[in-house]
């Protein structure tokens, strides 16, 4: 497998914020206007995607002249029990900020929930956007005000009461193949990067070519310089995904040459 840290970083930077300002749950979005730069730090390829993303964000923050990172991945413990982790503590224009970092892939399914936010679920239906937002609001962000957190802040000369709490929340969203014209009202429409299909929908794409990237390459913007699978080969390869109840992201190349990101779901 070829490691593509530069392409991953560029794809990550292009991913839009899931919303602007504080329009969702009053959670304030931390926004940067970053331009791609040479990604010249060593990053372990065996990190799980969430931790890999944190390293990309860390590098992005280091490129900003008005930002200085005070601490990252701060484990808050009480009686040897880990209560949680603060993703990043930083100064931006001398303002101390507690930043939580999230990068997600969500699919729009209007069979569950009543609101736009409730309609977005994880590819394997094991998690949802509403669950993540509630966890941020009720558990992750309040952690900084806990008694157990105070000694960590004291070491850095910080007080929780004077800190701003913000989220760095980027996402790739996918809409149903049967309804690709969905317009979002609360979340950022620019986050919609493709659609999703199930096993029955596959027959609509017999003339296309396919590529299944490794999970960290889900960040990458599709390009043509890879080995494409024809329909029959792709169909054979994906049998295993259906049997294991695992949804995967793939790239599709249409006869017109158009490239798209698509999720193949088992459900």
Domain spans of the chain? 5-180, 193-264
d(CA 156, CA 161): 14
Task: Kindly provide the b/e burial profile for residues 233-245, where b requires at least 16 CB atoms within 10 angstroms of the residue's own CB.
Answer: ebbeebeebeeee
Tell whether the model's pLDDT for residue 53 goes beyond 70.
yes
What pLDDT does 3 receive? 61
What's the whole-number mean pLDDT along residues 145-154? Answer: 96
pTM of the model: 0.95
Asked if pLDDT for residue 183 goes beyond 70, the answer is yes
Please name the residues in contact with 164: beta carbons below 8 A apart, sequence gap of 6 or more: 28, 95, 96, 97, 98
What was the pLDDT predicted at 4?
84
Instruction: Work out the mean pLDDT of the chain and round it to a whole number.
Output: 96
In this prediction, residue 112 carries a pLDDT of 85
For the beta carbon of residue 132, count every other beta carbon within 10 angstroms.
20
Mean pLDDT on 38-57: 93
At residue 121, what are phi and psi to the nearest 5 degrees? -125, 165
Question: Computed from CA positions of residues 214, 215, 216, 218, in that sequence, does the dihedral angle turn out positive or negative?
Answer: positive
pLDDT at 2: 52
List beta partners, residue 248: 264
pLDDT at 1 over 80: no
| C-alpha angle 183-185-189 in degrees, rounded to nearest 5 | 55
Residue written as token pair 């990550």: 12
- The yes-or-no verdict on residue 220 having pLDDT over 90 is yes
Cross-strand partners of 111: none
Residue 178's pLDDT is 94
What average pLDDT does the segment 163-184 reach? 97
Geometric angle at alpha carbon 214, from 211 and 219, rounded to 5°: 90
Q: Quote the DSSP letter at residue 136.
A: I
List the helix and strand counts (H, then E) for the chain.
5, 9
Q: What is the pLDDT of residue 203?
A: 96
Query: Which pLDDT score, from 0 to 100, does residue 107 have?
Result: 98
**CB neighbours of 5 closer than 8 A, spacing ≥ 6?**
39, 43
Do residues 58 and 88 lie in contact, with contact meaning Cβ atoms separated by under 8 Å? yes
- So what's the pLDDT on residue 157? 96
Residue 267 is predicted with a pLDDT of 95
Alpha-carbon distance 167 to 101, whole Å?
A: 6
Residue among 210, 197, 205, 203 at smallest CA distance from 242: 197
The answer, yes or no, to whether residue 122 has pLDDT greater than 50, is yes
Work out the average pLDDT over 23-34: 94
């Amino acid at each position: 497998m070829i490691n593509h840290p530069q392409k991953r970083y560029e794809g990550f930077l292009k991913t839009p914020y899931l919303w602007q300002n504080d329009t969702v749950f009053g959670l304030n979005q931390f926004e940067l206007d970053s331009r791609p730069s040479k990604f010249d730090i060593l990053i372990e390829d065996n990190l799980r995607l969430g931790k890999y993303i944190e390293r990309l964000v860390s590098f992005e923050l280091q490129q900003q002249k008005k930002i200085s990172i005070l601490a990252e991945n701060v484990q808050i413990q009480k009686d040897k029990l880990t209560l949680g982790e603060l993703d990043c503590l930083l100064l931006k224009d001398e303002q101390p900020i507690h930043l939580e970092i999230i990068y997600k892939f969500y699919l729009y399914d209007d069979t569950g929930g009543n609101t736009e936010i409730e309609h977005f679920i994880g590819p394997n239906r094991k998690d949802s956007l509403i669950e993540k937002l509630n966890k941020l609001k009720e558990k992750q962000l309040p952690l900084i005000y806990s008694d157990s957190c105070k000694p960590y802040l004291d070491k850095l000369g910080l007080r929780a009461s004077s800190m701003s709490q913000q989220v760095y929340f980027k996402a790739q969203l996918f809409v149903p193949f049967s309804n690709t014209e969905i317009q979002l009202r609360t979340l950022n429409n620019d986050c919609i990067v493709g659609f999703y299909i199930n096993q029955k929908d596959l027959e609509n794409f017999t003339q296309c070519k396919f590529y299944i990237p490794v999970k960290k390459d889900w960040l990458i913007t599709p390009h043509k310089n890879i080995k494409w699978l024809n329909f029959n080969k792709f169909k054979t390869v994906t049998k295993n995904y259906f049997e294991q109840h695992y949804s995967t992201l793939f790239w599709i190349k249409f006869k017109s040459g158009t490239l798209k990101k698509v999720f193949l779901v088992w459900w």
